[in-house]
Amino acid sequence: MKILALNGGSSTLKATLRELDGNLPSAPPPPLWEAQADWGRQPGKAQIRVRAAGEVRSDSEVDIETPAAVLEPVLAALWSGPAKAVGGPGEIDVVGHRVVHGGHAFQATTRITPEVKEQIRKYVEFAPEHNRLELEAIEVAERVLGPAAPQVAVFDTAFHTTLPMCAKVYPVPYEWYEKGVARYGFHGISHQYASRRGAEILGRQPAGLRMVTCHLGNGASLAAVRDGKSVDTTMGFTPLEGIMMGTRSGSIDPGILIYLVRHRGYGADQLDRVLNKESGLKGVSGISGDMREVVAAIATGDQRAVLAFDVYVYRLVSEIGAMTASLGGLDALVFTAGIGENCAPLREAVCRRVAFLGIELDLAKNASPRMDSDIAAPNSRVRVVVLRAEEDWEIARECWRMMEG
């Protein structure tokens, strides 16, 4: 089965083609073909880089008229040009689209129909930047590939639909919940992969295992996973809640917003921009939302960078505590995504502060970890795993499961 996974992030679209034969290893086999393109841009120029069999075969620039239009030349590069991997669109058996917001309607991966598109459109109000773009991408793929290739939606919220009501409902008037204001949680595709892969690395079954998975990329969230199911998570109604991120604030006192509106003349758009793009590591350090640059500035003695790192660790540790309480204890802590995979000082600072839970790192392993391995000291009661985020692979697996019924 040839499966094309389309994963549109905040600025990059990744398209990955894999051929699966029913043997589904937990860790991904290398893709046959992959493309990366600028994503969600205003009309103008967009870059596309295509690899086949691991080698870069083409780098190009195209003119686009809508934010998702770059998908059309990306798809064409599958069957034409120097990176061609299939004879034509008819050879693609299924296309999996990452869709950020599936609300309460979608608890699992779903075949896309006109009704499903209508429902995804309803959630545009909840996730305007994402769902609108994803719908546009679905329509481009339908037009280019035709009806023969089934299109499947893999939702970032679906993994968290197992949250208990006490975690889903905010302590506000109940009618808000009835109108859709609830904790949905995000990064579910990554947390699902990380929890299954983490269990496998530890040689454990998901059943009986209590894990906190830490997805620490530009956006960042934690999930509390028990028996392979999400029971709590830090992101909420939007991906703005929870731990501190690169440029997002994470949770803050809602009273701050009331104050800013009432006394500082802030409106919705300005609050949106400041909390999403000018806060987090960037806002506190005044340097960058990129952890590498913050760590580099710490090495030069920059005190605001030190503070930004300390606030990041403090928030992360508080939420690991909260997730552990939701689980009733902790067996494994999993680090994944850009910061989780690569920032050894951050992992060390976090693990030192949660040592009271029975966590002890092997400092040498932490300093230069083998990817997808256990980096806890032999005596550590709680295991610590570092693993590469593989959302594209999880999307492909979901497509396989869906098609095989």
Active site residue 156: yes
Residues in a beta bridge with 111: 152
Nearer to ligand ADP, 245 or 382 (CB): 245
Nearer to ligand ADP, 272 or 290 (CB): 290
The least distance separating ligand ADP from the CB of residue 381, rounded to whole angstroms, comes to 28
Please tell me the distance from the alpha carbon of residue 214 to that of residue 316, in angstroms, as a whole number.
9
The DSSP annotation for 87-124 comes to SSGGG--EEEEEES--TTT-SS-EE--HHHHHHHHHGG
Among 21, 59, 93, 156, which one carries the catalytic annotation? 156
The least distance separating ligand ADP from the CB of residue 122, rounded to whole angstroms, comes to 26
The least distance separating ligand ADP from the CB of residue 399, rounded to whole angstroms, comes to 21
Residues in a beta bridge with 7: 14
DSSP 3-state assignment of 211? Answer: strand
Please tell me the distance from the alpha carbon of residue 174 to that of residue 367, in angstroms, as a whole number.
48
Nearer to ligand ADP, 182 or 337 (CB): 337
Contact residues for ligand ADP, defined by CB under 6 A:
9-10, 217-219, 246, 290-292, 295, 337-339, 342-343
The least distance separating ligand ADP from the CB of residue 51, rounded to whole angstroms, comes to 17
List Cβ neighbours of 50 (8 Å cut-off, separation of 6 or more). Answer: 33, 34, 35, 56, 57, 58, 59, 74, 77, 81, 82, 83
Q: How far is CA 209 from the centre of its chain?
A: 22
Nearer to ligand ADP, 7 or 131 (CB): 7
- Determine how β-strand 210-216 pairs with β-strand 220-226: antiparallel
Nearer to ligand ADP, 152 or 339 (CB): 339
List Cβ neighbours of 148 (8 Å cut-off, separation of 6 or more). Answer: 89, 90
The least distance separating ligand ADP from the CB of residue 109, rounded to whole angstroms, comes to 21
Residue nearest to ligand ADP as judged by C-beta position: 338
Which helix or strand (DSSP H or E) is residue 13 part of? Answer: strand 12-19
Which helix or strand (DSSP H or E) is residue 19 part of? Answer: strand 12-19
- Annotated catalytic sites, by residue? 156
